[in-house]
Amino acid sequence: MPPRTLTVTLPPATANRNYPIHIGRGLFNQTALYRPHLISRQVLIVTNTTVAPLYLDAVRSALTDYQVNSVILPDGEQYKDLATWQQIFDVLLAQRYGRDCTLIALGGGVIGDMTGFAAASYQRGVAFIQVPTTLLAQVDSSVGGKTGINHPAGKNMIGAFHQPAAVIADTDTLMTLPERELSAGFAEVIKYGLIRDLDFFNWLAHHADGLLARDPALLATAIERSCQHKAEIVEADEYESGQRALLNLGHTFGHAIETGTGYGNWLHGEAIAVGMVMAADLSHRLGWLTNEDVDRVRQVLTAFQLPITAPLELTAGQMLDLMAVDKKVLQGKLRLVLLTALGAAQVTSDVPMEQLRMTLASASVSRGIAWLT
């Protein structure tokens, strides 16, 4: 398949802010994809210990005309913290990078979020390019400008909205992605189906085996359709004052799982999968979904090798405590994204505590966490 390019269209501020999302095989070393977005010759590649040996040289080979430095951070959600983030500035300043430099985030969601927030903050804002190497980053986190780091008490609590200058998604990286990471990425793909595209949800259910087998054509379709959804939502509501919140289906639950079990033990997509089951279960308890709908959500997630039950070590009370620090809390009220049907979602701050407790209690029993071991 030839590469495809989508465009995220945003209102201009001090400059044009539209940006391309390039999706395809063998894109890493295509200088022409980077060049239009590099302002000066100063380029810093931020990556991690897992990705660097695989792809750093390929990206560097596209940038031989530039002054390229790199920072190789430790790999994992547990390093998405202030101390690790500071290492990016140490290099930028040691190399005397100016306001016209460009950062390149080469890695998954953690690298993208940290690099984006460093770009947002260095000298009060420099440009950056997302080069996502995981399915999750290619379909979700690299697009839309949400950047940030974790606080011990809450996921992504420190950050900024800062749009990338371009997204370069080389799908060849998915061939080396560990199975667990591939499945985790599909949680966010399935999410688009659940909140706004029932056809896509059914298509994913039908092609689960082929997608997990990494059929390139199927993967390209899944990524492109996901990015289309993400771009449409971000274009309509960049700063999440409305419908962008729907992208957080399962995330209030999921963030509590990630924080409560210790960053890095659950992958983000795994926690989101369980969170989506909880959201579906709660939607059923409110009479918005049928029991069959909820089962269907469980079945499709399971087909993608994703967990559907909460970690045994977290009680419902602990989950509630952790959920109370979520970014969607307003006026002290928890706001949750729930499903009004498969393919349609809504934000509500009107969830009876009793129903929520029952959802949490029922999700944490039974099957255990055998899938984690």
| Six token digits for residue 28 | 């890493």
Active site residue 284: no
Active site residue 230: yes
Interface ranges with a second copy (CB under 8 A): 13-14, 40, 82, 86, 89-90, 93-94, 96, 98-100, 117, 120-125, 146, 148, 151, 153-154, 157-161, 239, 241, 324-325, 327-332
In angstroms, the Cα distances linking 252 to 17, 56, 129, 156, 327 are 30, 34, 28, 12, 8
CB closer to a second copy out of 98 and 368: 98
CB closer to a second copy out of 287 and 332: 332
109 annotated ligand-binding residue: yes
Helix (H, G, I), strand (E, B) or coil at 266: strand
CB closer to a second copy out of 148 and 250: 148
Q: Which DSSP category does 72 fall into? A: E
- One-letter amino acid at 89 equals F
Minimal distance in Å, beta carbon 156 to a second copy? 8
| Six token digits for residue 198 | 């029932």
Active site residue 244: yes
Contact predicate 54/79, CB 8 Å: no
Active site residue 248: yes
147 annotated ligand-binding residue: no
Active site residue 29: no
Alpha-carbon distance 180 to 107, whole Å?
16
Contact predicate 323/173, CB 8 Å: no
Q: Which of 60, 150, 162, 188 is catalytic?
A: 188
CB closer to a second copy out of 88 and 204: 88
Active site residue 4: no
Active site residue 240: yes
Minimal distance in Å, beta carbon 331 to a second copy? 6
Contact predicate 165/102, CB 8 Å: yes
Helix (H, G, I), strand (E, B) or coil at 187: helix
157 annotated ligand-binding residue: no
Contact predicate 264/372, CB 8 Å: no
Question: Residue positions in the annotated binding site?
Answer: 75-80, 109-113, 133-134, 146, 155, 173-176, 188, 251, 268
Supply the residues annotated as catalytic.
Answer: 124, 146, 188, 230, 240, 244, 248, 251, 255, 268
Question: Residue positions in the annotated binding site for Zn(2+)?
Answer: 188, 251, 268
